[in-house]
A = this chain, B = another copy of it.
Amino acid sequence: MSLRHALLTALIEKPASGLDLAKRFDRSIGYFWSATHQQIYKELGRMESDGLIESTPEENARGVKKIHRVLGKGRQELKRWVAECGEPAPLRDPLMVRLRAEGAIGPAGLAKSLQALREEHVAKRALYQEFEARDFSKAPSDRAAALRHVVLKAGLKHENYWIEVLDEALSVLAQDDD
């Protein structure tokens, strides 16, 4: 149930409408938690009826825009969740399944799609490096910024992890023409 807490965090950083949040989930927040707008609206609804947030309609907006703000109960719930012991997060990686499957049934033309994946990860890494240069070129001043930097660096490391793994896989696959 982390979507709820990702939304609380995002709304504490800045109150926003559902669509604003969806946009933030496509960009900054998206590099550690992804969600579609349908999911977001559904969860915002539940959070409101659970008394964690409130919403006020915004004038000067198309449609019926609603701005959501976190209430005391929401802050409390977030604090509770942060401290609670974390699950070990069950690992599920389709790429590893693919590699093992290739091993079991023989050459099946994996290399091409790995190459494409690799390019995506290289692009993402470049994007994160831009973020880092823009937002963290100086030592962060406060704790919150330092933690945001840790999260961004984790994203970077994650992309590097992928690129290394893909390179190893590609070099094994290259030993035969697939």
User: Which A residues fall within an 8 A CB radius of B?
Assistant: 2, 5-6, 8-9, 12-13, 30-34, 75, 78-79, 81-106, 108-110, 113, 116-117, 120, 143-148, 150-151, 153-155, 157-158, 161, 164-165, 168-169, 172, 175-176
Report B-chain residues with C-beta under 8 Å of the C-beta of A105: 12, 75, 78-79, 82
Q: How far is the CA of A169 from the CA of B165 in the complex (A)?
A: 24
Report B-chain residues with C-beta under 8 Å of the C-beta of A75: 105
A interface, over-half SS: helix
Residue of B nearest to A176 (CB): B143
Report B-chain residues with C-beta under 8 Å of the C-beta of A94: 2, 86-87, 89
The answer to whether A100 and B158 touch across the interface, beta carbons within 8 angstroms, is no
Q: How far is the CA of A111 from the CA of B165 in the complex (A)?
A: 30
